Every structure is written in C-alpha cells, then in structure tokens.
C-alpha cells in the first residue's frame, strides 16, 4: 500500500488553501476561520487541568504511602 508523506500532505493542504483563496479573493473571513481551526487554547486549558489533577493525585498517593509506612496493618485483610 502506498504511504502519504508529511510533505505531500502539507503540499496538498497549501494547494487546496490557494484554490479556496483564488475562488473567493474577497473572502475577508478566511484568516479568522483558519485561526479558529488551529486555535489550541481550549486544548491547552484541558491539558493544564489534567496536569493539575495529576499533581493532586500524586500528592494523595504519596500521603497514603507515607501513612501506610507508619501504621501497622493487618496483612491477612489483604489476602
């Protein structure tokens, strides 16, 4: 099977974009549409929220590990 290389994809995208611009030269919304399409701010917010949750869970796990190290637990209860 044939594979499409990144460069081919980029070239095809640029060609399609140029065709769109040529068909609608007065299209003033194109930069806004492209900006909206490639806006990653929402994804960046989600990534930051996930990172904060990871930090929170890591702290909770470390606290549980520390508690487990300091307390004698009934090992038979875990079998």
* Interatomic CA distance for residues 55 and 68, integer angstroms: 20
- The model carries a pTM of 0.52
Question: Could you tell me the CA-to-CA distances from 73 to 66, 67, 78 in Å, in that order?
Answer: 13, 10, 9
The string of pLDDT tens digits covering residues 7-66 is: 888 889 888 888 877 777 666 677 777 788 888 999 999 999 999 999 999 999 999 999
């Amino acid at each position: 099977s044939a594979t499409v290389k990144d460069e081919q994809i980029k070239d095809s995208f640029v060609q399609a974009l140029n065709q769109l611009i040529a068909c609608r030269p007065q299209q003033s919304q194109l930069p806004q549409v492209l900006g909206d399409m490639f806006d990653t701010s929402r994804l960046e917010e989600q990534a930051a929220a996930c990172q904060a949750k990871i930090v929170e869970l890591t702290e909770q796990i470390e606290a549980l590990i520390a508690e487990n190290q300091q307390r004698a637990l009934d090992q038979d209860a875990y079998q």
